[in-house]
Chains A and B, each alone.
Chain A
Protein backbone atom coordinates (compact mmCIF):
# COMPACT_ATOMS: atom_id res chain seq x y z
CA UNK A 1 0.00 0.00 0.00
CA UNK A 2 1.36 3.39 -1.00
CA UNK A 3 1.32 6.42 1.28
CA UNK A 4 -1.57 8.62 0.19
CA UNK A 5 0.25 11.65 1.56
CA UNK A 6 2.66 11.30 -1.33
CA UNK A 7 -0.13 11.21 -3.92
CA UNK A 8 -0.87 14.21 -6.08
CA UNK A 9 -4.21 14.17 -7.86
CA UNK A 10 -3.54 15.12 -11.46
CA UNK A 11 -4.77 14.58 -14.98
CA UNK A 12 -2.50 11.56 -15.11
CA UNK A 13 -3.81 10.26 -11.79
CA UNK A 14 -7.36 11.60 -11.49
CA UNK A 15 -9.77 11.08 -8.63
CA UNK A 16 -13.31 9.78 -8.99
CA UNK A 17 -16.11 11.45 -7.04
CA UNK A 18 -19.46 9.65 -6.97
CA UNK A 19 -22.62 11.31 -5.72
CA UNK A 20 -25.56 9.11 -4.76
CA UNK A 21 -28.60 11.34 -4.78
CA UNK A 22 -31.86 10.48 -3.09
CA UNK A 23 -34.67 11.53 -5.44
CA UNK A 24 -37.48 9.99 -3.44
CA UNK A 25 -40.76 11.68 -2.58
CA UNK A 26 -39.71 12.60 0.97
CA UNK A 27 -37.05 14.86 -0.54
CA UNK A 28 -39.93 17.18 -1.38
CA UNK A 29 -40.22 18.16 2.27
CA UNK A 30 -38.88 21.51 3.38
CA UNK A 31 -35.18 21.72 4.16
CA UNK A 32 -35.08 23.04 7.72
CA UNK A 33 -36.20 26.66 7.77
CA UNK A 34 -35.31 27.18 4.13
CA UNK A 35 -38.09 28.21 1.72
CA UNK A 36 -37.22 25.32 -0.57
CA UNK A 37 -37.27 21.54 -0.28
CA UNK A 38 -34.49 19.06 0.42
CA UNK A 39 -34.11 18.04 -3.22
CA UNK A 40 -33.55 21.66 -4.20
CA UNK A 41 -30.91 22.08 -1.50
CA UNK A 42 -29.09 18.95 -2.63
CA UNK A 43 -29.12 19.96 -6.29
CA UNK A 44 -27.80 23.40 -5.37
CA UNK A 45 -25.02 21.93 -3.26
CA UNK A 46 -23.88 19.43 -5.88
CA UNK A 47 -23.96 22.01 -8.66
CA UNK A 48 -21.87 24.34 -6.51
CA UNK A 49 -19.35 21.61 -5.76
CA UNK A 50 -19.02 20.61 -9.41
CA UNK A 51 -18.43 24.26 -10.31
CA UNK A 52 -15.86 24.62 -7.54
CA UNK A 53 -14.05 21.46 -8.58
CA UNK A 54 -13.89 22.69 -12.15
CA UNK A 55 -12.48 26.06 -11.14
CA UNK A 56 -9.76 24.33 -9.18
CA UNK A 57 -8.80 22.30 -12.23
CA UNK A 58 -8.01 25.28 -14.42
CA UNK A 59 -4.40 25.21 -15.45
CA UNK A 60 -2.08 28.10 -16.11
CA UNK A 61 -3.01 28.12 -19.78
CA UNK A 62 -6.73 28.37 -19.03
CA UNK A 63 -7.62 24.80 -19.90
CA UNK A 64 -9.54 22.63 -17.51
CA UNK A 65 -7.37 19.69 -16.57
CA UNK A 66 -8.98 16.33 -16.05
CA UNK A 67 -7.98 15.98 -12.42
CA UNK A 68 -11.40 14.80 -11.32
CA UNK A 69 -14.05 12.57 -12.79
CA UNK A 70 -17.58 12.65 -11.44
CA UNK A 71 -20.52 10.28 -11.47
CA UNK A 72 -24.03 11.20 -10.35
CA UNK A 73 -26.22 8.25 -9.42
CA UNK A 74 -29.82 9.16 -8.76
CA UNK A 75 -32.23 6.82 -7.02
CA UNK A 76 -35.99 7.05 -6.63
CA UNK A 77 -36.90 9.33 -9.49
CA UNK A 78 -39.07 6.57 -10.90
CA UNK A 79 -40.39 3.84 -8.56
CA UNK A 80 -37.42 1.66 -7.62
CA UNK A 81 -35.05 2.74 -10.33
CA UNK A 82 -31.43 3.78 -10.20
CA UNK A 83 -30.08 5.84 -13.05
CA UNK A 84 -27.40 8.27 -14.04
CA UNK A 85 -28.17 11.75 -12.79
CA UNK A 86 -26.57 13.51 -15.75
CA UNK A 87 -28.96 15.19 -18.15
CA UNK A 88 -28.82 17.07 -21.42
CA UNK A 89 -25.84 16.13 -23.58
CA UNK A 90 -24.45 14.04 -20.73
CA UNK A 91 -27.68 12.07 -20.34
CA UNK A 92 -27.08 8.39 -19.76
CA UNK A 93 -23.38 8.80 -19.12
CA UNK A 94 -21.92 7.58 -15.85
CA UNK A 95 -18.37 8.78 -15.25
CA UNK A 96 -17.60 12.12 -16.89
CA UNK A 97 -14.34 14.05 -16.76
CA UNK A 98 -14.49 17.50 -15.23
CA UNK A 99 -13.40 18.87 -18.61
CA UNK A 100 -16.38 17.31 -20.36
CA UNK A 101 -18.67 18.35 -17.53
CA UNK A 102 -17.78 22.00 -18.04
CA UNK A 103 -18.32 21.66 -21.76
CA UNK A 104 -21.89 20.44 -21.35
CA UNK A 105 -23.78 22.24 -18.57
CA UNK A 106 -27.51 21.81 -18.43
CA UNK A 107 -28.20 25.49 -17.94
CA UNK A 108 -27.35 28.23 -15.51
CA UNK A 109 -28.67 29.57 -12.27
CA UNK A 110 -27.63 32.75 -10.53
CA UNK A 111 -24.95 33.27 -13.14
CA UNK A 112 -23.32 29.90 -12.59
CA UNK A 113 -23.56 26.71 -14.64
CA UNK A 114 -25.65 23.85 -13.37
CA UNK A 115 -25.68 20.20 -14.28
CA UNK A 116 -28.38 18.51 -12.25
CA UNK A 117 -31.96 19.34 -11.34
CA UNK A 118 -33.89 18.45 -8.19
CA UNK A 119 -36.29 15.52 -8.20
CA UNK A 120 -38.45 14.16 -5.42
CA UNK A 121 -40.71 11.55 -6.86
CA UNK A 122 -40.92 8.00 -5.65
CA UNK A 123 -39.37 5.28 -3.47
CA UNK A 124 -35.89 5.17 -1.96
CA UNK A 125 -33.94 2.25 -3.49
CA UNK A 126 -30.75 3.09 -1.62
CA UNK A 127 -29.44 -0.48 -1.49
CA UNK A 128 -29.74 -0.72 -5.25
CA UNK A 129 -27.95 2.61 -5.58
CA UNK A 130 -25.03 1.36 -3.49
CA UNK A 131 -24.98 -1.82 -5.56
CA UNK A 132 -24.66 0.28 -8.73
CA UNK A 133 -21.97 2.40 -7.10
CA UNK A 134 -20.02 -0.70 -6.11
CA UNK A 135 -19.94 -2.03 -9.66
CA UNK A 136 -19.13 1.37 -11.11
CA UNK A 137 -16.27 2.03 -8.66
CA UNK A 138 -14.86 -1.47 -9.16
CA UNK A 139 -14.82 -0.90 -12.91
CA UNK A 140 -13.19 2.50 -12.47
CA UNK A 141 -10.45 1.13 -10.23
CA UNK A 142 -9.72 -1.63 -12.73
CA UNK A 143 -9.56 0.81 -15.65
CA UNK A 144 -6.14 1.88 -16.95
CA UNK A 145 -3.85 3.21 -14.25
CA UNK A 146 -6.62 3.96 -11.77
CA UNK A 147 -5.28 1.44 -9.27
CA UNK A 148 -2.49 3.97 -8.79
CA UNK A 149 -4.93 6.84 -8.21
CA UNK A 150 -6.64 8.30 -5.17
CA UNK A 151 -9.37 5.92 -3.98
CA UNK A 152 -12.84 6.92 -5.19
CA UNK A 153 -14.82 9.27 -2.98
CA UNK A 154 -18.49 8.30 -2.68
CA UNK A 155 -20.97 10.72 -1.13
CA UNK A 156 -24.50 9.59 -0.41
CA UNK A 157 -27.02 12.37 0.22
CA UNK A 158 -30.37 11.28 1.58
CA UNK A 159 -32.97 11.95 4.20
CA UNK A 160 -32.36 8.40 5.23
CA UNK A 161 -35.46 6.34 4.72
CA UNK A 162 -34.39 3.55 2.39
CA UNK A 163 -37.26 1.43 1.10
CA UNK A 164 -35.08 -1.51 0.10
CA UNK A 165 -32.88 -1.76 3.20
CA UNK A 166 -34.23 -5.21 4.05
CA UNK A 167 -34.52 -6.94 7.37
CA UNK A 168 -32.60 -5.09 10.07
CA UNK A 169 -30.92 -3.13 7.30
CA UNK A 170 -28.72 -6.16 6.64
CA UNK A 171 -28.82 -6.09 2.82
CA UNK A 172 -28.09 -2.35 2.85
CA UNK A 173 -25.23 -2.72 5.33
CA UNK A 174 -23.77 -5.64 3.40
CA UNK A 175 -23.85 -3.66 0.18
CA UNK A 176 -22.21 -0.66 1.83
CA UNK A 177 -19.48 -2.84 3.33
CA UNK A 178 -18.84 -4.31 -0.09
CA UNK A 179 -18.43 -0.82 -1.51
CA UNK A 180 -16.13 0.22 1.33
CA UNK A 181 -13.93 -2.82 0.77
CA UNK A 182 -12.88 -1.55 -2.66
CA UNK A 183 -9.44 -0.02 -2.75
CA UNK A 184 -6.66 1.34 -4.90
CA UNK A 185 -2.98 1.10 -4.06
CA UNK A 186 -3.47 4.20 -1.93
CA UNK A 187 -6.13 2.81 0.36
CA UNK A 188 -9.78 2.00 0.68
CA UNK A 189 -12.60 3.87 -0.98
CA UNK A 190 -13.89 6.84 1.01
CA UNK A 191 -17.60 6.79 1.77
CA UNK A 192 -19.37 9.79 3.23
CA UNK A 193 -23.03 9.97 4.15
CA UNK A 194 -24.86 13.27 4.33
CA UNK A 195 -28.13 12.94 6.14
CA UNK A 196 -30.41 15.88 5.55
CA UNK A 197 -33.52 16.68 7.49
CA UNK A 198 -36.52 18.92 7.68
CA UNK A 199 -35.63 19.62 11.28
CA UNK A 200 -34.12 23.10 11.68
CA UNK A 201 -31.34 22.07 14.03
CA UNK A 202 -27.59 22.53 14.10
CA UNK A 203 -25.45 20.44 11.83
CA UNK A 204 -23.89 17.31 13.26
CA UNK A 205 -20.51 16.55 11.72
CA UNK A 206 -19.03 13.06 11.83
CA UNK A 207 -21.42 11.66 14.45
CA UNK A 208 -20.24 8.77 16.56
CA UNK A 209 -22.33 5.66 16.95
CA UNK A 210 -24.34 7.11 19.80
CA UNK A 211 -25.44 10.16 17.89
CA UNK A 212 -26.02 8.17 14.75
CA UNK A 213 -28.24 5.80 16.69
CA UNK A 214 -30.04 8.66 18.35
CA UNK A 215 -30.90 10.17 15.00
Chain B
Protein backbone atom coordinates (compact mmCIF):
# COMPACT_ATOMS: atom_id res chain seq x y z
CA UNK B 1 0.00 0.00 0.00
CA UNK B 2 1.37 3.38 -0.96
CA UNK B 3 1.30 5.80 1.93
CA UNK B 4 1.04 9.54 1.59
CA UNK B 5 4.75 9.96 2.22
CA UNK B 6 5.39 7.98 -0.96
CA UNK B 7 6.68 4.91 0.86
CA UNK B 8 5.16 1.46 0.35
CA UNK B 9 4.21 -0.30 3.57
CA UNK B 10 1.63 -2.72 4.83
CA UNK B 11 -0.84 -1.17 7.23
CA UNK B 12 -2.66 -2.83 10.07
CA UNK B 13 -5.50 -3.95 7.82
CA UNK B 14 -3.58 -5.78 5.12
CA UNK B 15 -2.10 -4.92 1.78
CA UNK B 16 -5.33 -3.89 0.08
CA UNK B 17 -8.11 -3.85 2.68
CA UNK B 18 -10.60 -1.92 0.59
CA UNK B 19 -10.11 -3.88 -2.58
CA UNK B 20 -8.83 -0.95 -4.57
CA UNK B 21 -8.55 -1.86 -8.23
CA UNK B 22 -10.29 -5.16 -7.56
CA UNK B 23 -13.74 -4.00 -8.59
CA UNK B 24 -13.54 -5.57 -11.95
CA UNK B 25 -10.77 -6.76 -14.16
CA UNK B 26 -12.82 -6.39 -17.29
CA UNK B 27 -11.54 -2.89 -17.98
CA UNK B 28 -8.04 -3.30 -16.67
CA UNK B 29 -6.58 -3.89 -20.07
CA UNK B 30 -8.49 -1.01 -21.55
CA UNK B 31 -7.23 1.26 -18.81
CA UNK B 32 -3.68 0.12 -19.23
CA UNK B 33 -3.70 0.56 -22.97
CA UNK B 34 -5.70 3.71 -23.21
CA UNK B 35 -3.96 6.97 -23.85
CA UNK B 36 -7.09 8.95 -24.55
CA UNK B 37 -6.96 10.83 -21.34
CA UNK B 38 -3.36 10.95 -20.32
CA UNK B 39 -2.26 12.31 -23.65
CA UNK B 40 -5.25 14.51 -24.21
CA UNK B 41 -6.03 18.09 -23.50
CA UNK B 42 -6.94 17.27 -19.95
CA UNK B 43 -3.48 16.17 -19.07
CA UNK B 44 -2.35 19.58 -17.97
CA UNK B 45 -5.34 20.21 -15.79
CA UNK B 46 -4.68 16.96 -14.00
CA UNK B 47 -1.22 18.02 -13.01
CA UNK B 48 0.46 14.93 -14.31
CA UNK B 49 -2.14 12.31 -13.52
CA UNK B 50 -2.02 9.69 -16.22
CA UNK B 51 -3.95 6.68 -14.94
CA UNK B 52 -7.51 5.60 -14.62
CA UNK B 53 -10.02 7.57 -16.58
CA UNK B 54 -10.02 6.85 -20.27
CA UNK B 55 -13.06 8.68 -21.49
CA UNK B 56 -16.10 6.67 -20.65
CA UNK B 57 -14.99 3.29 -21.88
CA UNK B 58 -17.22 1.53 -19.40
CA UNK B 59 -20.37 3.36 -20.24
CA UNK B 60 -23.04 0.71 -20.23
CA UNK B 61 -25.63 2.60 -22.21
CA UNK B 62 -23.65 3.35 -25.33
CA UNK B 63 -25.74 6.42 -26.05
CA UNK B 64 -24.31 8.47 -23.26
CA UNK B 65 -20.56 8.73 -23.41
CA UNK B 66 -20.49 10.80 -26.54
CA UNK B 67 -23.52 12.84 -25.79
CA UNK B 68 -22.98 16.46 -24.80
CA UNK B 69 -26.07 16.33 -22.68
CA UNK B 70 -27.85 14.19 -20.15
CA UNK B 71 -30.86 12.06 -20.87
CA UNK B 72 -33.16 12.96 -18.03
CA UNK B 73 -35.97 10.72 -16.85
CA UNK B 74 -34.43 7.64 -18.34
CA UNK B 75 -35.13 4.63 -16.19
CA UNK B 76 -32.65 2.08 -15.06
CA UNK B 77 -32.97 -1.49 -16.19
CA UNK B 78 -31.45 -2.84 -13.01
CA UNK B 79 -33.64 -4.69 -10.57
CA UNK B 80 -34.99 -2.34 -7.95
CA UNK B 81 -35.73 -5.03 -5.42
CA UNK B 82 -33.57 -5.24 -2.34
CA UNK B 83 -31.76 -2.14 -3.48
CA UNK B 84 -31.22 -0.60 -0.04
CA UNK B 85 -27.96 -0.53 1.85
CA UNK B 86 -27.32 -3.65 3.89
CA UNK B 87 -24.79 -4.21 6.60
CA UNK B 88 -21.69 -5.68 5.06
CA UNK B 89 -22.18 -3.89 1.74
CA UNK B 90 -19.88 -1.04 2.70
CA UNK B 91 -17.08 -1.87 0.26
CA UNK B 92 -18.67 -4.74 -1.64
Contact = CB atoms under 8 A, between A and B. Distances in A.
A55 B47 contact: yes
Contacts of A132: 84-85
Contacts of B33: none
A66 B18 contact: yes
B34 to A, nearest CB: 11
Interface string A91-115: 1111101011011111111111100
B23 A100 contact: yes
Interface of B: 2-4, 6, 11-13, 17-18, 20-21, 23-24, 26-27, 31, 41-42, 45-53, 55-56, 58-60, 64-76, 78, 80, 83-85, 87-92
Contact of B48 (A10, A58, A111): A58
Given A73-B85, A109-B70, A139-B90, 9 more contacts: A77-B80, A78-B75, A78-B80, A100-B20, A102-B51, A103-B52, A110-B68, A121-B73, A121-B75
- The interface residues of chain B, by DSSP majority, are classed as loop
Interface in A179-208: none
Interface stretch (A81-89, A153-161, A166-174): A81-89
The 10 A-B pairs of least Cβ separation, nearest first, read A107-B56, A83-B83, A107-B65, A102-B52, A103-B52, A78-B80, A132-B85, A107-B59, A62-B48, A10-B4
A37 B91 CA distance: 32
Nearest to B28: A103
22 contacts: A12-B11, A39-B72, A40-B72, A55-B49, A58-B46, A58-B49, A59-B4, A62-B48, A62-B50, A65-B4, A81-B80, A82-B84, A83-B84, A87-B60, A100-B23, A103-B52, A104-B24, A106-B65, A110-B68, A113-B53, A121-B73, A135-B85
Given A12-B11, A64-B52, A93-B23, A37 B72 contact: yes
Given A66-B20, A93-B92, A81 B85 contact: no
Contacts, number: 172
Given A40-B72, A88-B58, A135-B85, A64 B17 contact: no
Contact of A117 (B23, B27, B51, B74): B74
B53 A11 contact: no
A163 interface: no
Nearest to B92: A93
A28 B73 contact: yes
Given A11-B4, A97-B18, A117 B58 contact: no
B72 A108 contact: no
Contacts of A12: 3-4, 11
Contacts of B52: 64, 99, 102-103
B85 A106 contact: no
Candidate in B56, B74, B87 with the most chain A CB atoms within 10 angstroms = B56
A139 B70 contact: no
A53 interface: no
